[in-house]
Structure 1
Amino acid sequence: MARIRSIKPEFFTSLTIANLDLPSRLTFIGLWTHCDDEGRCIDDARLIKAAIWPLDDRTAADVEEDLGALSESSLITRYEVAGRRYLAVCGWAEHQRINRATKSKYPSPDQAESPAAPPPASGNESSQAAHGGLSENSVSTHDRKGTGNREQGKEEPPAAAEPPARHDAPAEQLSVTQRSKRITDAYAVAEPMCKWPAINGIVIKAIKAEKWSDDEISAALLRLADEGRTVTVETLRRELAGDPPPVGRAHLRLTGTDGRPTSGPRATGPISEEDIW
């Protein structure tokens, strides 16, 4: 069940958060609403994708990549108890105050079946400032002091996450997901307020069309950004093909030499996405 949480202003100035790509940041925020009142949930990218990214063109593998990045940054702890995988948001109890908190039905990280892996050096900064604290108007007798990153369980590498793509790696050595992420991240530098998942979905379609190189797709996106044009499947296809932008969506009837409308075909507006590539 989704829950209401708050976010601290320090989240936006956290150096640990700044090192994450935008989808990983949003997945981290989404985990706060997905996890229970003790910051725990089942570690299954399919369930997390359904809860946090239900309407976006992202796969469970994409979300697994986000979780891997969050674990490497010590923002979450991934552990296993009795053969089941769980995750916990690091420093949850230390930074969140929840009135009448419901006790978690999941085991804590200190019940993990193997010793905790040593946290990266960036762990303290991330647990202190990265996620928000929830408070309510009524006075709570259940506020708790947490153990922060000391409550670490078994950290396991992501099962399906792909390694980050090197900036100079040839496209033929990368998966479609790695290629689209590299192209979309470059576009996000030019357009920081873009809807990253939507742009990434459009880029994936362009890559799978196998008509253009990654450099051509990236250059077309940057031209759209420079001209202040919205990126859609159609606008990217037109830019890649060198077609001029449509004048308008209206259907224009052709005219004969006498200036009267003919019965012939009409010039159409934007084409459908089914025929776009």
Structure 2
Amino acid sequence: MARIRTIKPEAFVSESLAAVTLTAERTFVGLLTQADDQGRHRDHAAIITGQLWVLRPEHGPSDVETDLAQLADAGLICRYKGPDDKRYLHIVTWHQHQKINRPSMSRLPDCPVHGTGTGIGQSPRGAASPRPWHRQRTERSGRGHGALTEDALSTRGKCASLQRIRVPTENPQVNAGSWSRPGRLTEVCVSLQ
């Protein structure tokens, strides 16, 4: 699925991008829009041709394979084989240039050379691990509906269970200033007394 990505002005004076042909540069920019939130994509020239060059039939899969080889030689992408023996690529400087607001986990295997540890079930590099809701709430301002008291803070780590509830949407007074969005599943700690 294509995504909106950022191109920095420095890209036009990049020596590594200047080392490749214009078609390879266009393939690189196109890969930015097609890569997942960790900068990974299938290394399959026919698939990339269909995504980026569909309206340019004169630039076929063999030309895209040449583009990918140039990008790899310039150090812009890294090509690798996954545990399933399929070929993958990732954009080497992805995490330096792309700031994803809510990055999703990659469904593609991590690069064995530049591994970031952001495969399925792993947090993106630099992202904080998920914290219990009561700790997140107390680290904010502590004001508004749902603010926790000192008694509630003393139960930290003593949750008997986490239960999921749905915050009602039909009563606006319940949701006013709430730390949870209406109609969304929310975890609530049932503490031991």
Q: Secondary structure at the match of 1:6?
A: coil
Q: Is this contact kept in 2: 1:35–1:41, CA < 8 A?
A: yes
Q: Report the alpha carbon displacement of residue 94 of structure 1 after superposing the two structures with TM.
A: 2.5
The answer to whether 1:102 aligns with 2:104 is: yes
Structure 2: how far apart are the matches of 1:64 and 1:37?
A: 23
Given the superposition, is the C-alpha separation of residues 63 and 10 from structure 1 closer, same or farther in structure 2, using an over 3 Å criterion?
same
The answer to whether 1:63 aligns with 2:79 is: no
In structure 2, the partner of 1:85 is 87
Q: Report the alpha carbon displacement of residue 79 of structure 1 after superposing the two structures with TM.
A: 0.3
Q: Is this contact kept in 2: 1:94–1:144, CA < 8 A?
A: no
One-letter amino acid matched to 2:101: N
Q: Secondary structure at the match of 2:28?
A: helix
In structure 2, the partner of 1:45 is 45
Q: Is this contact kept in 1: 2:40–2:89, CA < 8 A?
A: yes
Of residues 94-103 and 54-63 in structure 1, the stretch that sits farther from structure 2 once superposed is: 94-103
Q: Report the alpha carbon displacement of residue 144 of structure 1 after superposing the two structures with TM.
A: 4.2
Q: Is this contact kept in 2: 1:98–1:143, CA < 8 A?
A: no
In structure 1, the partner of 2:14 is 14
Output the TM-score relative to the length of structure 2: 0.57
Q: What percent of counterpart residues are identical?
A: 42
| 1:136-175 matches, cutoff 5 A | 144-145=125-126
* Long gaps (5+) in structure 1: 111-115, 118-141, 147-277
Q: Is this contact kept in 2: 1:99–1:143, CA < 8 A?
A: no
Q: Report the alpha carbon displacement of residue 81 of structure 1 after superposing the two structures with TM.
A: 1.5
Structure 2: how far apart are the matches of 1:143 and 1:61?
A: 34
In structure 2, the partner of 1:261 is none
Q: Secondary structure at the match of 2:6?
A: coil
One-letter amino acid matched to 1:46: A
Output the TM-score relative to the length of structure 1: 0.40
Structure 2: how far apart are the matches of 1:10 and 1:40?
A: 22
Q: Is this contact kept in 2: 1:94–1:145, CA < 8 A?
A: no
In structure 2, the partner of 1:54 is 54
Number of residues paired by the alignment?
117
Q: Quick check: which one's strand share is greater?
A: 2
In structure 2, the partner of 1:35 is 35
**Superposed structure 1 runs of 4+ greater than 6 Å apart:** none
Q: Report the alpha carbon displacement of residue 51 of structure 1 after superposing the two structures with TM.
A: 0.4
Higher normalized contact order (CA 8 Å, seq sep 6+, divided by chain length): 1
Structure 2: how far apart are the matches of 1:103 and 1:93?
A: 14
Structure 2: how far apart are the matches of 1:18 and 1:91?
A: 16
Q: Secondary structure at the match of 1:109?
A: coil
CA RMSD of aligned residues (A): 2.0
Q: Quick check: which one's helix share is greater?
A: 1
Q: Is this contact kept in 1: 2:81–2:88, CA < 8 A?
A: yes
* Long gaps (5+) in structure 2: 115-122, 128-193
In structure 2, the partner of 1:5 is 5
Deviations 1:120-169 (A, max 9, x none): xxxxxxxxxxxxxxxxxxxxxx88449xxxxxxxxxxxxxxxxxxxxxxx
